[in-house]
Amino acid sequence: MRGKGGYVSVYVHEQVIVEIGMKEILRTNDQVLLSYVEMVLKDTGLHPVVFDNHASVLDGSVMAIQRRLLVLDEEEEEASEMLLTIKQEYDADNA
């Protein structure tokens, strides 16, 4: 998933006050995995943000819309490395 991302714009009264570069590191329908990765990254001082949470709830049980986890551009490399370890542990625990 590396390389996907863009800018998140923060608006106040219809004016952009800041644009933050972010990269997608995870896209999944597995809410347990998503929550676990988000918690571990936050515990290490990174700043993950879950996108599409409300949209995926609206699709009901179809699970057509996956949730995405994004981190700041400058945190992408560290977060991606941690994600590999987290997923290996998660897969081993759920095998």
The ranges assigned to domains in the chain are 5-93
* Nearest residue to 6 (alpha-carbon basis) of 19, 21, 17: 21
Q: Which residue has the tokens 């515990």?
A: 43
This prediction's pTM: 0.75
25-73 pLDDT, tens digit per residue, is 999 988 899 999 999 999 999 999 998 877 756 666 566 788 999 999 9
Are 21 and 7 in contact, with CB atoms under 8 Å apart? Answer: yes
Structure tokens at 9: 């714009």
CATH class of 5-93: alpha beta
How high is the pLDDT of residue 43?
Answer: 96
* Nearest residue to 52 (alpha-carbon basis) of 34, 72, 73, 76: 34
Q: Is the pLDDT of residue 81 over 80?
A: yes
